[in-house]
Amino acid sequence: MSAGDPRRQQGAGWLFVTPAIVILGLFLVLPIGMALWVSLSDWAGRGSPFSGDVAFVGLDNYSALLAEPGLARQDLMLSFRNTFYYVVGVVPLQTVLALSLAVLLNNQFLKGRTFFRTAFYFPSVVSSVAISLLFLFLFAGGGAINNVLGWFGLNGPNWFQDPRGLIHLLGDGLGVWSTSSPPGWLTDPTVLGLSPWEWVAGPSVALSAIMLQVIWTTAGTFMLMFLAALQDLPTEVEEAAFVDGANKWQRFRNVTVPHLRPTILLVVTLGFIGTWQVFDQMYVMTQGGPAKTTLTPAYLSYQTAFDTGRWGQGAAIAFILFALIFALTTLQRWILRDKDEPRTSRFSRRRRRRRTTVQDETQTQAQTSGRLS
């Protein structure tokens, strides 16, 4: 067997990837497998989940969370509701903010660009725990934010203690309903343990404060991605649009944004996943309160397992969250897919590609056999 023997190379290849497989298996596949088992068992957090005392309970944990009326389902639905409003608020805003910052900083003639880049990126570098503590002080009842609001004659709420939902408040302000006595048609039949009145509450004041913080911290990271993509944008294209008489907005709308499409998709996807998994802020600042309005699935999972000792349910919440994120991300990719390309052309291109591949392969084979012989 010569050194170039493809069979020997195969062995060497496996040898080289073994460390990666072992590490991934040990720290990724095995824990996920264990968690999956825990979510199907009645393990109470004592000793190994694989010991003989632990019984398989099938989908009991999942059905307690999804099917049976009770506190477990109600809490999970509350956490989904909160996080839904959170995602809907955070993802678009952080994407738009990041994009705007990137476009501003991409301006060749801006003075002190490096300074601004560092300044905007800085919040992303600082640990989220430190920032959370800072925001606790900023948004305290007598804190800086309320003092600034006071200059304009506004009486700011006690942010992190205020469980009132924004949509409730808006409706109250417009006279649609009164928060102290919600309309009967919204309170009566409960859907998945929550009344429609509770479903439409909107993010609470406390959650909104957290949303502001997260938008501020993450915009920097995404700004960096947009900046990188913007620097790829060929100046000729921009100049051509300029020559064609496109104004600033038209150039942004029709040249820059289409060019950034893949980056936008990336940023939105990452934003989606990150926001659905939000945990740090709740752990440090609110512990799910006030009135459970900052409870999120990730924090609920932690709480169910570590504080309540229902490990199976905690693990099941994690898997339900995984399924939800997976489904939503797929849906979001489908919505944001490239709609410009007609189906036929894609099909023919694929055929064309396949033909060339086959050709290439034949060529390579011919070469190889020629060398071997």
Residues within the interface to other proteins (CB under 8 A): 7, 10-11, 14, 18, 21-22, 25-26, 29-30, 44-51, 70-72, 74-75, 140-142, 158, 161-163, 179-181, 288-292, 303-310
Task: Give the residue with the Cβ less far from other proteins, 114 or 181.
Answer: 181
Peptide bond into 290 cis (omega under 30): yes
The Cα–Cα gap between 17 and 265 comes to 31
Task: Give the residue with the Cβ less far from other proteins, 2 or 107.
Answer: 2
Each as own residue / partner, the long-range contacts of residues 248-255 (CB below 8 Å, 24 or more positions apart, any chain) are 252/103
Half-sphere exposure of 334 (CA within 13 A, CB side): 6
Least gap, CB of 230 to other proteins (angstroms)? 43
The Cα–Cα gap between 251 and 230 comes to 13
The Cα–Cα gap between 146 and 68 comes to 43
Task: Give the residue with the Cβ less far from other proteins, 50 or 347.
Answer: 50
Torsion, Cα of 227, 338, 88, 144 (10° steps): 10
DSSP string for 128-193: HHHHHHHHHHHTSTTSHHHHHHHHTT-----GGG---BHHHHHHHHHTS-BTTB--HHHHSS-BTT
Task: Give the residue with the Cβ less far from other proteins, 72 or 268.
Answer: 72
- Residue length, the chain? 373
Tokens encoding 197: 């009145």
Least gap, CB of 172 to other proteins (angstroms)? 12
The Cα–Cα gap between 233 and 108 comes to 13
Cβ contacts of 224 within 8 Å, gap of 6 or more: 102, 117, 121
Least gap, CB of 149 to other proteins (angstroms)? 13
Task: Give the residue with the Cβ less far from other proteins, 49 or 203.
Answer: 49
Least gap, CB of 252 to other proteins (angstroms)? 44
Least gap, CB of 192 to other proteins (angstroms)? 15
Are 166 and 202 spatial neighbours (Cβ–Cβ below 8 Å)?
yes
Least gap, CB of 360 to other proteins (angstroms)? 23
Task: Give the residue with the Cβ less far from other proteins, 220 or 288.
Answer: 288
Task: Give the residue with the Cβ less far from other proteins, 149 or 331.
Answer: 149
Least gap, CB of 186 to other proteins (angstroms)? 15
Task: Give the residue with the Cβ less far from other proteins, 117 or 292.
Answer: 292
Least gap, CB of 300 to other proteins (angstroms)? 9
Output the CA–CA distances (angstroms, integers) from residue 370 to 245, 277, 303, 357, 363, in the order listed.
Answer: 58, 56, 66, 20, 11
